[in-house]
């Protein structure tokens, strides 16, 4: 599984890159703070309900959660069902908020 750091992701977003972000947290976590992208909780990925991102199988997909654990699980599942370029945000939103929240 490939990874990406908060610093690398922030630099790419600041550069204006269009990225495929997938938030695998629970609804309350997503509402309280997110960095955009598609909201697709881990439970849906575990039950193969991935229609919302099916067209991204050949694209880079950056997956994030609170700490990086659930997104790591999601990456492994996505890889097994044919996604070719998934990356886990190391440290998740905890790391992101520690570095970039005011």
- Summarize pLDDT for 44-80 with one digit per residue, the tens: 999 999 999 999 999 999 999 999 999 999 999 999 9
pTM for this prediction: 0.96
* From 40, 53, 62, 65, the catalytic residue: 65
- Summarize pLDDT for 33-45 with one digit per residue, the tens: 999 999 999 999 9
Would you call 65 a catalytic residue per the annotation? yes
User: Span 2-100: which CATH code?
Assistant: 3.40.250.10
φ, ψ dihedrals at 39, nearest 5°: -90, 115
Q: Which residues contact 97 (CB under 8 A, 6 or more apart)?
A: 33
Q: What is the residue-averaged pLDDT of the chain?
A: 96
Domain map (residue ranges) of the chain: 2-100
């Amino acid at each position: 599984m490939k990874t990406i750091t908060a610093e690398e992701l922030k630099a790419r977003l600041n550069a204006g890159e269009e990225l495929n972000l997938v938030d695998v947290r629970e609804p309350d976590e997503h509402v309280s703070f997110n960095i955009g992208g598609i909201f697709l909780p881990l439970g849906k990925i575990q039950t193969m309900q991935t229609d919302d991102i099916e067209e991204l199988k050949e694209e880079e997909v950056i997956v994030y959660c609170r700490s990086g654990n659930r997104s790591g699980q999601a990456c492994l599942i996505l890889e097994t069902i044919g996604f070719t370029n998934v990356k886990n945000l190391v440290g998740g939103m905890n790391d992101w908020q520690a570095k970039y929240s005011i």
